Amino acid sequence: MQIISTDKAPKAIGPYSQGVSIPVSQPGVSLIFVSGQGAIKAGKNEYEPLSVAEETKIALTNIQHILEEAGSSLSKVVKTTVFLVDLNDFQAMNEVYATFFQNNPPARSTIQAAKLPKGFKVEIEAIAFRNTQ
């Protein structure tokens, strides 16, 4: 297992890694598991409440930076999970999400969570792959 860490996304706010990569049985490919990302910009550890659209953009940008650090990209994301405090915000989140995954979007689950860390309105996690050869 390889731990992925970058200063281009916020440091973990708990006992978890920004991302983790593990080899898979397909030669030359490994998986990357990106921990849930919320609306905290790199270099800051404080949450400032924003609109769901703005929070979605920051969360997906953080995921993008973590994947790039791991040698992957958003185009190699195979699964995301989106946590929303209020499912009534689905449309606002979805409009921004669609701009990050315009072609061949990954599988996705979206659930309503009673509460998210730091007061986030949205948190997104991802699973991607990378070519290692």
Predicted confidence at residue 129, as pLDDT, reads: 94
16-36 mean pLDDT: 87
% of the chain beyond a pLDDT of 90: 68
86-92 mean pLDDT: 97
**For residues 17 and 57, what is the distance between their CA atoms, to the nearest angstrom?**
21
| pLDDT score of 1 more than 80 | no
The model carries a pTM of 0.88
44-72 mean pLDDT: 94
54-80 mean pLDDT: 96
Predicted confidence at residue 132, as pLDDT, reads: 85
Predicted confidence at residue 75, as pLDDT, reads: 94
Q: In the structure encoding, which two tokens stand for residue 7, read together? A: 């200063």
Helix/strand/coil for 120? coil
Q: In the structure encoding, which two tokens stand for residue 112, read together? A: 């309503």
| Largest CA-CA distance found in the chain, in angstroms, rounded | 43
Which of 43, 34, 24 has its CA nearest to residue 68?
A: 34
Q: Helix H segments across 3-117?
A: 52-69, 90-100
The mean pLDDT value of the chain amounts to: 92
| pLDDT score of 54 more than 70 | yes
Predicted confidence at residue 73, as pLDDT, reads: 97
Angle (CA) 93-98-99 rounded to 5° is: 105
**For residues 91 and 53, what is the distance between their CA atoms, to the nearest angstrom?**
9
